[in-house]
Structure 1
Amino acid sequence: MLEALEPVDVGVEHIGSTSVPGLAAKPIVDIVVTVDDITAEEDYLDALLAAGYRLRTREPRHRLVRTPARDVHVHIYERGDPAVVEYLLLRDRLRTDADDRALYESTKRSLLRGRWDDMNAYADAKTDVILAIKARARAARDQ
């Protein structure tokens, strides 16, 4: 992925559960890439598609490409997008707070015991726990 984006000025962060040492995770690597202009797809999207990634989502502020094996998801946002701040807030809190990391993992494990016809529903079911963890992260940051 980095080779495909080499000529472009991008920011790259590893996010998601695989970015947190010691946290149980599905074998899917989530990456967030930030670009200067999300609408200038010729600057980044064409290169990713040529490198074999497949476009999964095109939204006004977000693009998602993934490998054919679906084991790498690349989320693309404009620099400064609040969604990127939120991803990093959660990731950094889970990396540094053992209690919240354990809570998040136990929540994921509990939810995975259920049956999910749609992975978006699974993701939505984690929302309350994620919001609580991010609130504690903000409170700790602001002290």
Structure 2
Amino acid sequence: MPSREEITRHHDAPSDDDVWVRGRPDPEPIHVVDHDPEWAVWFFQVAALVRSALGDRVKDIEHVGSTAVLGLPAKPIIDVDLTVDDPADEDSYVPDLEERGFVLTVREPLWHEHRLLTLVSPAANLHVFGPDCPELVRHRMFRDHLASHPEDLALYRDAKLAAAAATTEEGGIVMDYNRRKEPVIRRIYDRIFAEHGLL
């Protein structure tokens, strides 16, 4: 289990050029749409695909992010946390996932050895972390908090819509969208941590 300090520590991402495996993506509009119950079905499809590729190398797999929160608008892309023994050991899982259509897109060795693989259909971002990674805990706490705190769900919804509009207008990419949401995300996280006695 990660320590209290690890769970409550916020992460400052490196510059974009440091993480893209296949080059920085071209700008495209950020579409945030109303919640779709079909997203839960998409998650089970992605999870089944991952399990068919990796078998018992899957230590855990979870639906996280906005598409996992009923009533929260989101980009129609499923965020999935996959836990493997060692995300830095790409040869142990990436080739098998690529055979199922996933594409290694982001490599962040300085952030818990995070790897991001994308899938076109159903549209998904597969976030790969190692066991006991604090980000796994943070993602689940954030998801569960929004599901039970409508005032923070509304705050985050408004931040997402504003960030999507501003990023699209300025011709940014999804990381720009994420940075615009970050102050609100951190404010909500700090409330979560305080509520759980971690701060």
CA contact under 8 A between 2:51 and 2:58: conserved in structure 1? no
SS at 1:126 equivalent: helix
Is the 1:28–1:73 Cα contact (8 Å) retained in structure 2?
Answer: yes
Structure-2 separation of matches of 1:87 and 1:125:
18
**Which residue does 1:55 correspond to in 2?**
104
Q: Residue in 2 aligned with 1:92?
A: 144
Change (3 A) 1:77 1:127: same
The residue aligned with 1:129 is 184
Aligned residue number for residue 117 of structure 1: 172
Corresponding residue of 1:19: 68
Residues 45-81 of structure 1 deviation map (CA, whole Å, 9 limit, x = unaligned) = 1211111111101221111111135811100011111
Contact persistence 1:58–1:64 (CA under 8 A): yes
- The amino acid across from 2:165 in the alignment is R
Please report the TM-score for the alignment, with normalisation by the length of structure 1.
0.91
Cα deviation digits, residues 100-132 of structure 1 (max 9, x gap): 001000111122222242221111011110011
Whole-angstrom CA distance in 2 between matches of 1:130 and 1:30: 16
Identity %: 34
Deviations 1:14-72 (A, max 9, x none): 11110001101111001010111122223321211111111101221111111135811
* Other structure's SS at 1:33 match: strand
Aligned residues: 143
TM-score if structure 2 supplies the norm length?
Answer: 0.67
**In structure 1, how many angstroms separate the alpha carbons of the residues matched to 2:139 and 2:192?**
12
Distance in 2 (alpha carbons) for counterparts of 1:70 and 1:128: 30
Contact persistence 2:58–2:82 (CA under 8 A): no
Please state how far the C-alpha of 1:11 moved relative to its aligned partner: 0.8
Aligned CA distance change for structure 1 residues 120 and 9 (closer, same or farther; 3 Å): closer
Alpha-carbon distance change, 96 to 57 in structure 1, aligned in 2, over 3 angstroms: same
Map of 1:102 onto structure 2: 154
Q: Distance in 2 between matches of 1:125 and 1:70?
A: 26
Please give the alpha-carbon distance, in whole angstroms, between the structure 1 residues aligned to 2:151 and 2:138: 19
Given the superposition, is the C-alpha separation of residues 62 and 96 from structure 1 closer, same or farther in structure 2, using an over 3 Å criterion? same
* 8 Å Cα contact 2:84/2:129 also seen in 1: yes
What SS does the aligned partner of 1:113 have?
helix
Q: Give the SS at the match of 2:98.
A: helix
Structure with bigger strand share is 1
Candidates 11, 31, 45, aligned match of 2:80: 31
Give the 3-state SS of the residue equivalent to 2:57 in structure 1: coil
Structure 2 runs not aligned, ≥5 long: 1-49
Give the match for residue 123 of structure 2: 71
Q: Which amino acid aligns with 1:134?
A: Y
